[in-house]
Amino acid sequence: MADNMKMRAQLKGDYVEVKVLMSHPMETGRRKADDGNVVPAHFVQLLTATLNGKPVLEAQWGTGVSKNPYLTFRLKGAKLGDKVAVTWHDNLGATATQEIAVTQA
């Protein structure tokens, strides 16, 4: 699932800005498909981010996060070349991880 996430981590002065765009349907479980059947809930529940393996962010999500979730967060004390990794888990047990290095903005 390498192309599941688009990620960028850029050093901007004294912080690193991480932008993540995930590919996920984020179904609420309330939407009806064209055939009239309800589409079952399918959404990311947990997202974690690490900097060089150390946890920096943990997010719990409900169905109210938009389809193909977008996230920006900022890390103090990160340097060029540091590794930022993001992992998500959804309610159906699927998961994806991506790791990138910090680059200059």
Partner 1 sequence: MQRRNFLLGLLSAIILAPINAFAAIWNKAAFEAVKLDDASKILDINGETISQQIQITAPDRAENGAIVQVEVRSEIANTEAIAILVEKNPTPLIANFMFSNGAEPFVVTRIKMAETSDIKVVVKAGDQYFTNSRNVVVLENGCN
Size of the site for partner 1 (CB under 8 A): 36
Phi then psi for residue 3, to 5 deg, are -95, 15
Q: Smallest distance from the beta carbon of 104 to partner 1, in angstroms? A: 19
18 neighbors 25 (Cβ within 8 angstroms): no
By the rule CB under 8 A, 36 interacts with partner 1? no
Burial of 60 (0-12, 13-18, 19+ CB in 10 A): exposed
Binding string, 49-88, against partner 1, x = CB under 8 A? x-x--xxxxxxxxxxxxxx-xxxxxxxxxx----------
Which residues contact partner 1 by CB under 8 A? 15, 28, 30-32, 45-46, 49, 51, 54-67, 69-78, 89, 93, 95
